[in-house]
Amino acid sequence: MWMLRAAVLVLVSAWAVLALPSTPKDVSRFPDDLFQPLPVVIWHGLGDSAYSPWLLKLKEHIEKMYPGIFVHLVAIKPTLFSDQRATVFGNVNDQIDLMHCELNAIPELRHGFDAVGFSQGGQFMRGYVERYNSPRVRNLITFGSQHMGITDLPACQPFDALCRTVHGLLMGRVYTDYAQKSVVTAQYFRDTRTKEQFSLYKERNKFLYDINNEGPEKNGTYKANLERLDKFVMVKFSEESTVVPAASSWFAAYPDPDQHHGRANETTPLRQSALYEEDWVGMRALDRKGALAFHECSGGHMHLSQECLALTFGHEVKSY
């Protein structure tokens, strides 16, 4: 599945920049006796678990490095395997509701936090900001996320039985009631390949279609909440092959099937999309206040190299 690799220590040192934007890049001068960093909440990706050793280690290192910092790993279920399974099977809208309850039961988060979403955890985090944002998110940072969905399923590793099971389930059945309620990837599968599939997406999808305000009735709360972010940092990977199209990590998508003018395989960048031009979810407003950052990291999906993290947490806006 979408495996995560991380240089834990590097990620931890990069955190200082995030926690203290006024001292960009120089991590060593973090004045931990003067400054209480805002908590960090991390929502992991598909196939991962809040109890996976690397994430627990990451949390521990952040806590050790910045005494007093509070780090929370979003856990939909209480065990390693059940939480991992919940990244594959479940109802994403319910999971966001659960996560909202989970965060509200944590007093340390009541003054807000910085949110980090790995892969699909990125668009789920954004869903939380749009629908709830209470406690409030200051900075949202997403790594290899699928903000405009996927039009294809990621290739399975040779021995990944879970992945094969999901593919088997979804083959030609992405928009069935069952898949839309119970298979996580189906809930952000935005199939622009044919008019028929795209109409099915619009008719049946209850998660991505909703949080992207694609329907005729826009929910103003979503826009108002997302606009409140200080920064929205989106990281895309240069050798991305798991997320199709890769530019979905930068909020780009293949054109609608009736508007592609022979360019069905060319993604429309965020700034040229209707979602941006008509500002369905507040992305244009964020851009106008300089709050959007587009980063490209070298490597494949979720390859969190040292350079990637240093660049990312520097918050420089890169144009397409």
Nearer to ligand NAG, 51 or 222 (CB): 222
Report the C-alpha gap between 174 and 163 in whole angstroms: 15
Residues listed for the chain: 320
Question: Minimum Å distance from CB 309 to ligand NAG?
Answer: 32
Contacts 24+ apart (CB under 8 A), 5-9: 5/302, 5/303, 5/304, 6/54, 6/58, 6/302, 6/304, 7/304, 7/305, 7/306, 7/309, 8/54, 8/57, 8/58, 8/61, 9/61
Question: Minimum Å distance from CB 229 to ligand NAG?
Answer: 16
Nearest of 254, 250, 232 to residue 296 by alpha carbon: 250
Name the token pair of 28: 């060593």
Tell whether residue 126 is a contact of ligand NAG (CB under 6 A).
no
Nearer to ligand NAG, 180 or 267 (CB): 267
Nearer to ligand NAG, 13 or 205 (CB): 205
Report the C-alpha gap between 308 and 98 in whole angstroms: 31
Nearer to ligand NAG, 52 or 219 (CB): 219
Under a CB-based contact definition with an 8 Å cutoff, are residues 81 and 149 in contact? no
Question: Minimum Å distance from CB 37 to ligand NAG?
Answer: 29
Nearer to ligand NAG, 63 or 256 (CB): 256
Question: Minimum Å distance from CB 218 to ligand NAG?
Answer: 9
Total binding residues for ligand NAG by CB under 6 A?
A: 5
Question: Minimum Å distance from CB 216 to ligand NAG?
Answer: 12
Question: Minimum Å distance from CB 246 to ligand NAG?
Answer: 13
Question: In this structure, what DSSP letter does residue 270 have?
Answer: G
Under a CB-based contact definition with an 8 Å cutoff, are residues 220 and 280 in contact? no
The angle that helices 120-131 and 220-227 make with each other, rounded to 10 degrees, is 110
Under a CB-based contact definition with an 8 Å cutoff, are residues 129 and 102 in contact? no
CA angle 249, 238, 314 (to 5 degrees): 70
Question: Minimum Å distance from CB 222 to ligand NAG?
Answer: 6
User: For residues 250-289, which are near ligand NAG according to CB under 6 A?
Assistant: 264-265
User: For residues 135-194, which are near ligand NAG according to CB under 6 A?
Assistant: none
Question: Minimum Å distance from CB 21 to ligand NAG?
Answer: 29
Question: Minimum Å distance from CB 264 to ligand NAG?
Answer: 6
Nearer to ligand NAG, 114 or 130 (CB): 130
Residue 267, Ramachandran bin (φ over 0: left; ψ between -120 and 50: alpha; else beta)? beta
Nearer to ligand NAG, 83 or 214 (CB): 214
Q: Which residues of the chain form beta strands (DSSP E)?
A: 5-6, 40-43, 71-73, 113-118, 137-143, 231-237, 292-297, 303-304
* Residue span 52-91 as binding mask against ligand NAG, x where in contact by CB under 6 A, dash where not: ----------------------------------------
Name the token pair of 257: 């099937």
Instruction: Please pick, from the candidates 72, 77, 126, 131, the single residue that binds ligand NAG as defined by CB under 6 A.
Output: 131
Nearer to ligand NAG, 180 or 213 (CB): 213
Nearer to ligand NAG, 45 or 282 (CB): 282
User: For residues 205-234, which are near ligand NAG according to CB under 6 A?
Assistant: 219, 221
Q: Which residues bind ligand NAG (CB under 6 A)?
A: 131, 219, 221, 264-265
